Chains A and B, each alone.
Chain A
Amino acid sequence: MLKQITVTVNGTQHTAEVEPRLLLVHLIREVLNLTGTHIGCDTSSCGACTILLDGKSVKSCTLLAVQANGKSVTTIEGMIQDGQLHPLQEGFKENHALHCGFCTPGMILRATELLANNPNPTEEEIRWGISGNLCRCTGYNNIVKAIQYAGAKMRGEEPASTEPQFV
């Protein structure tokens, strides 16, 4: 039994006939072919599939597509606006906050909500704020820096130097 849903994804309205059990992440990846949202686990632990649902960061492997009916989804593909990278996208690149890139979209989407709620977070607030997203490559130092960089930019301030600091 298929169910018809309408979801706005990155500003474009999509209507699809889906099985009620279809996971939201599979709607995004396999029905809408937006493969920037990744799957890294089967227990809602890793956060690679994080998207924004009506502005709130959620793990799209933990929701059914039908739960997004009538709602608005933002994925990593929707972060670039008028050809301009989002400050978080820029911050991740400038601060070497990604290695393999697999966790990056989820991290960026999670950090988007983090900064929306708290425009000038402390390092500790950032670390707790992204603790639902696992990264196996970077050791997190530079992800923290990237989020601070984006925060500064979004507040209209000059971000800290992106040059690596050594002891």
Chain B
Amino acid sequence: MGHSMKRKEDARFIQGKGNYVDDIKLPGMLYMDIVRSPYAYAKIKNIDTEAALKVPGVLAVVTGRDLEKYNLHWMPTLMSDTQMVLPTDTVMYQAQEVAAVIATSRYAARDGREAVRVEYEPMKPVMDPYKSLLPDAPVLRPDKPGKTDNHIWHWEVGDKQKTEDVFSKAEVVVKQDMYIPRIHVASIETCGCVADYDKVNNHLTMYMTTQAPHAIRTVIALVAGHVGLTEEKIRVVSPDIGGGFGGKVPVYPGYVIAIAVSFLVGAPVKWIEDRSENLQADSFARDYHITAEMAGTKDGKILATRFKVLADHGYTDASANPSKFPTGLFSIGTGSYDYGASYMEADAVYTNKPPGGVAYRCSFRVTEAVHAIERITDRFALEVGKDPAELRMQNFIKKEDFPWKSPTGWTYDSGDYHAGLQKAMDAIDYAGLRKEQAEKRAKGELMGIGISTFTEIVGAGPSKDFDILGIKMFDSAEIRVHPTGKAIARFGTKSQGQGHETTYAQIIAEELGIPAEHIQVEEGDTDTAPYGLGTYASRSTPTAGAAAAMAARKLRDKARKIAAYLLEVSEADLEWEPGKFFVKGAPEKVKTIQEIVFAAYTNHPQGMEAGFEATHYYDPPNLTFPSGAYICVVDIDKETGSINVRRFVAIDDCGHIINPMIVQGQVHGGLTQGIAPAMYEELIYDEAGNILNGTLMDYLVPTAVESPSWETGHVVTPSPHHPIGAKGVGESPTVGAPPAIANAIVDALSPYGITHMDIPITPFKVWKALKEKGAI
């Protein structure tokens, strides 16, 4: 471990030999395209399919009424709400699926789609979550028995009374409303599937872009069991995936329709969505309206926090959270600071927007929480007149205080926040930057320095609290070592670019002494891989990575027994070093792991099971708590408001590092997905429910020009409860970067009395704020 091994998976990707879902071509395959609603809220008066059915190559048009005959027109969401597969009466958001056209080619399906005539009766949509709660708002979900308003759920955590007491007596209280906008993961590969139902054998193979193939198999069986598709008749294959970021966790209607059609006609059906469909209809992320408050002393000691959230979930609660956590892990929002009182509450509402609530490279609503705590901490520092770095150093949980119990109930495993921030400050020359800033301010120039010192919570999760639809959130590894000492390892997770084929091989190599080059890693086929909950929320290394180590240790135990037998000594006389057992004090009496494995097939001790395989289902005892200290420097042009991120230093603590190159790559990518919502991305709707930027022409995914040259580094505090001390890293930078950037911009503008700006902070917003303050 700790070796920057080049990735095993790259050979196929650099030669164009990846196998993504749209690359799959089966004999007799049909193509599906989807008719979508132009209205955000409308009654469907009529769907006229006559012209579409006359288009050459079009075989069928499927509507909600057709699916209703099989009771397949609604499906459950991951949060036990319900979602339409296809509507029978009413559409609830713009771009909602209305009908599906099945044809013999991609082009014919699109022609058919254009020929379907749908008559709508538009209604006034509810787009504002605050207005959705007003008594005169229309009830958006009358399909739910007894529903008389648009409120979905209320959630709270922490000690309300204690927190109020601290606030009422505090010397300083700051309060800030902030909006964490609705954004979209926009992985470069969109979503899609090939549903291949074999009528003769009553067997479904579902090739699809999913981050959680096993969970999907179980969901399909639960939804379609009544038509004979039971779980042993379903194989889900997740091929190479072109980026996921949480957007490929949910079940979208297109998948279900494709399965239904394949089931009915007995032919494979391919559905690949367009980018515009992907942006406009697939699960959104964020959309939290937050009021954050902090109480403290005049000299900068934090005493309490209070957060109130209004969550806009669109027309159904289709969040991808563990079942018991409607706001995900938002309760990590007490942050990296040592204080004892916090109270958080959230309410979720329905609106006429697409459903979702997925991660966008974030562990279950942690980004929203981190933005709230890191922004309000800066607001507090400004209020008490302290440097934000100094105030953070003053309030950090000390490294000797871990494991540390948070006011919202988490037990942070390990960290050294002081060391992290100090390293970032040294790397960027914090003192020098403050000096430069003072000189620039004297000349009226705008320069800002922003800090974010965040704590993440990943690796979901311990089975006592964590499940999805009742299935516990363990994960798994199965290792089979062949007689010649080469291995195949299979996992319940599914890489979407994280490099599992390399990282997992390195973990097994470390534990078993077989070179990583000799270990083939496979994921994504439910017929061969052990059951697991998939890859999201930075959980793969914390769960399946741990399972790999544990399975390898089982094999090492077996290897010790075989070595003792071969060397004719007792097990206690043997010593292990990676790759071999030798007799203590007689290192020439040695058996390599390859010799031992060969013996397991050719000369195993009588009474011992032959072969060399192990499986482990790892149930983590706690979550892991990666942290980071990020510092960002911006220069702002006063006349135009344009923002230049001059430098960005990210110091991460993700525990023990398996492959520094891959970890750094994850940090780079996460940082760019951090600058994205901080400065560029937001899904914008007008009052009539139209999306105003539903294509990649106007939804601004950062290019290489917008993305700064990132500088990264580490402090390492191993997770004490993880078998190899790793914590997970994929999402930390996406979580930590936005407040660092926002804090830097606000810092630049603070001489003009500007104390907050909502992300994405655009040149126009900056220019407008400066104008309003009379600065220009």
Contact = CB atoms under 8 A, between A and B. Distances in A.
Chains A and B belong together in one complex: yes
Interface of A: 19, 21-22, 26, 29-30, 33-43, 45-46, 48, 75-77, 79-80, 85, 89-90, 92-94, 96, 98-105, 108, 123, 126-128, 130-144, 163-164, 166-167
Nearest to A95: B661
B464 interface: no
Chain B, interface residues (CB within 8 Å), range: 35 or more
Interface stretch (B11-19, B139-147, B335-343): B11-19
B545 to A, nearest CB: 17
Interface of B: 4, 6-7, 9-20, 22-23, 25, 106-107, 185-190, 240-243, 245, 274-276, 423, 427, 496-499, 649, 651, 660-662, 664-673, 695-697, 701, 703-705, 707, 709-714
A96 B187 CA distance: 18
Contact of A136 (B187, B667, B671): B187
Given A40-B275, A41-B696, A134-B696, A140 B188 contact: no
A74 B8 CA distance: 25
Given A36-B15, A80-B15, A164-B664, A43 B275 contact: yes
Contacts of A42: 274-276, 695
Nearest to B245: A136
B4 A163 contact: yes
Contact of A102 (B185, B189, B651): B189
B23 A35 contact: yes
A100 B243 contact: yes
Contacts of B20: 35, 38, 102
B496 A100 contact: yes
A92 B14 contact: yes
A138 B665 contact: yes
A126 B701 CA distance: 18
A36 B16 contact: yes
B14 A93 contact: yes
Contacts of B16: 34-37, 75-77, 79, 105
20 contacts: A26-B106, A38-B242, A40-B188, A41-B274, A45-B695, A46-B188, A46-B696, A75-B16, A96-B664, A128-B705, A130-B703, A135-B188, A135-B704, A136-B188, A136-B673, A139-B668, A142-B665, A143-B704, A163-B4, A166-B660
Contacts of B12: 101
A141 B188 contact: no
Contacts of A79: 15-16
A37 B17 CA distance: 10
A141 B242 contact: no
Contact of B17 (A33, A36, A48, A98): A36
B14 A85 contact: yes
B15 A19 contact: no
Given A93-B7, A100-B497, A134 B701 contact: yes
Nearest to B711: A167
Most A CB within 10 A of own CB, among B186, B240, B667, B669: B669
Top 8 A-B pairs ranked by shortest CB distance?
A: A36-B16, A101-B13, A102-B242, A100-B497, A99-B497, A139-B668, A76-B16, A45-B696
Contacts of A33: 25
Contacts of A89: 14-15
Contacts of B669: 99, 136-139
A40 B189 contact: yes
Given A92-B10, A101-B240, A131 B704 contact: yes
Nearest to B275: A41
Contact of A100 (B14, B186, B242): B242
Contact of B710 (A38, A108, A136, A141): A141
Contacts of B17: 36
B241 A96 contact: no
Contacts of A133: 703-704
Contacts of A92: 10, 14
B695 to A, nearest CB: 5
Nearest to A103: B188
A26 B499 CA distance: 29
Nearest to B424: A167
Contacts of A137: 243, 497, 665, 669
